[in-house]
Amino acid sequence: MSGTSCDGVDALLLELDDLDRRHVPRVLAHAYRPFPDELQAQLRAPEQLRVSEISALGHVLARRYAEAVRALPQWDTAQVCGMHGQTVWHRPPSQAEGQVPHTLQLGSSGALAEALGLPVVGDMRAADIALGGEGAPIAPLAHWMFTEPERTGRLVVNVGGIANVTFVGPQRDDVLASDVGPGMMITDALARYVSRGAQAYDRDGTLSAGGRVIEAMVEQVLAHPFFDRPLPRSTGREDFGAAVVHALVDRFGEHQGADLLASSLEITARAIARAAREDLTGVTELVLTGGGALHPGLQDRLRARLAPIPVVVHDEGPLAPQHHEPAAMALIAARTLHRLPSGLPRVTGARKAAVLGHVAWPTP
């Protein structure tokens, strides 16, 4: 799994006991491989690439993904590989404005299947969009299946480049989920700006430490039309990417770097808290996951805003920050291999539950 942070790829070897019964699967191995700086830069500005470069990136990424998978002990015991690919554009029905809804995740599933000798499930969002859905989020089924049935009121918050939430109800049809706003996308970009490229993200919260919130900056981002769209809604780099960051730097660049970063963290915290407090009812526990879950400043802000609701971060298992997205892709891949749907119409707005992705088979 390589997310909207564009920093690298996580690979996971997951043992599933069942494809339709709720249980906590076993994580057998995890590997992370960072992307080179040049590749990260290309993925963060895809609109500047030529068609030939976009085509090449699909195969470059397949090679990077193969390296990550091969770093897993006993990777060749897997029955299927789920490849989400790198999202470079996402324009679902809610944002299509008269155009054909579309989404693009780079990564050649055929090339990866040949490299690994395993069936690979890729292109996981297109079917949901074809059925009138937003094509996102697609991890909520995993959030529900990986939560013990006796737990109710759990809100799983994935803080990647974009922040999304899943409310885990008693039954599959009770699940509610949506993107809620920028996760670490703006914070990561400002960390690169403040450190003049020396840091790709706010490691351990050192750049934002002691910063004061610039209220006008927070209000500017939270005034984005995305926040007026009804749930379920989806977003990405096209809404909170380079253009938004450049506008913030132009207006607020004279402020201290720590203040800029504290403000971007506040944006994320308010977006998540709004979902937990205003958009949903019955939340009794918040499980923070995704790369941003490890940021101490974000944890502190969420705990302050959501008390007495506990905010927890798992150290291990399928909902641990570095595990949960590749674990979700593994579940989707296994279900797709057996022609089982993984889309949730109540979550994405699709007309029916979609079988997510297509299967690329390796040459015998």
| pLDDT at residue 278, rounded to an integer | 85
Cα distances (angstroms) measured from residue 2 to each of 77, 158, 167, 220 = 22, 14, 24, 29
User: In terms of domains, do 154 and 242 share one?
Assistant: yes
* Same-domain check for residues 90 and 153: no
Position 255 scores a pLDDT of 98
Let me know: does 297 contact 262? Beta carbons within 8 Å. Answer: yes
Q: What is the pLDDT along the chain (364 residues), one digit of tens a residue?
A: 998 778 999 999 999 999 999 999 999 999 999 999 999 999 989 989 999 999 999 999 999 999 999 999 999 999 999 999 999 999 999 888 889 999 999 999 999 999 999 999 999 999 999 999 999 889 999 999 999 988 889 999 999 999 999 999 889 988 999 889 999 999 999 999 999 999 999 999 999 999 999 999 999 999 999 999 877 787 888 899 889 999 999 999 999 999 999 999 999 999 999 999 888 888 999 999 999 999 999 999 999 999 999 999 999 999 999 999 999 999 999 999 999 999 999 999 999 999 999 999 999 9
Tell me if 43 sits within 8 A of 358, measured CB to CB: no
The CA radius of gyration of the chain, in Å to the nearest whole number, is 19
Residue 213 CB: number of other CB atoms within 10 A?
17
Same domain, 128 and 31: yes
Residue 119's pLDDT is what? 99
Please state, in angstroms and rounded to a whole number, the distance separating the CA atoms of residues 240 and 235. 8
Q: For residue 103, is it within any domain?
A: yes
Report the distance separating Cα 70 and Cα 260, nearest Å: 39
194 and 296 assigned to the same domain: yes
Question: How would you class 332 by CB atoms within 10 Å of its CB: exposed for 0-12, middle for 13-18, buried for 19 or more?
Answer: buried
C-alpha to C-alpha distance for 55 and 59, rounded to whole angstroms: 7
Q: Is residue 211 part of a domain?
A: yes
Total domains in the chain come to: 2
Predicted local distance difference test score (pLDDT) of residue 235: 85
Q: Are residues 201 and 302 in the same domain?
A: yes
Same domain membership, residue 269 and residue 238: yes
CATH number at residue 63: 3.30.420.40
Of 119, 10, 5, 111, give the one whose Cα is nearest residue 57: 111
**Do 162 and 214 belong together in one domain?**
yes
In the chain, where do the E strands start and end? 8-15, 26-34, 81-82, 86-91, 102-106, 120-122, 154-159, 162-168, 176-182, 285-289, 311-312, 358-360
**What pTM was computed for the model?**
0.90
Domain assignment of residue 233, yes or no: yes
Same domain, 81 and 154: no
- The two three-digit tokens of residue 253, written as one number: 């660049």
Strand partners, 312: 287
Q: Tell me the CA distances in angstroms from 41 to 4, 7, 242, one per residue in order.
A: 12, 9, 11
Does any domain span residue 320?
no
**Whole-angstrom distance, CA of residue 119 vs CA of residue 78:** 10
Residue 342 near residue 126 (C-beta atoms within 8 A): no
Residue 292 contacts residue 181 (beta carbons within 8 Å)? no
Same domain, 170 and 245: yes
Same domain, 161 and 292: yes
User: Which structural domain range is residue 157 located in?
Assistant: 147-312
Would you state the pLDDT for residue 234?
A: 79
Q: Specify whether 159 is located in the same domain as 108.
A: no
Q: Is residue 178 domain-shared with residue 275, that is, in the same domain?
A: yes
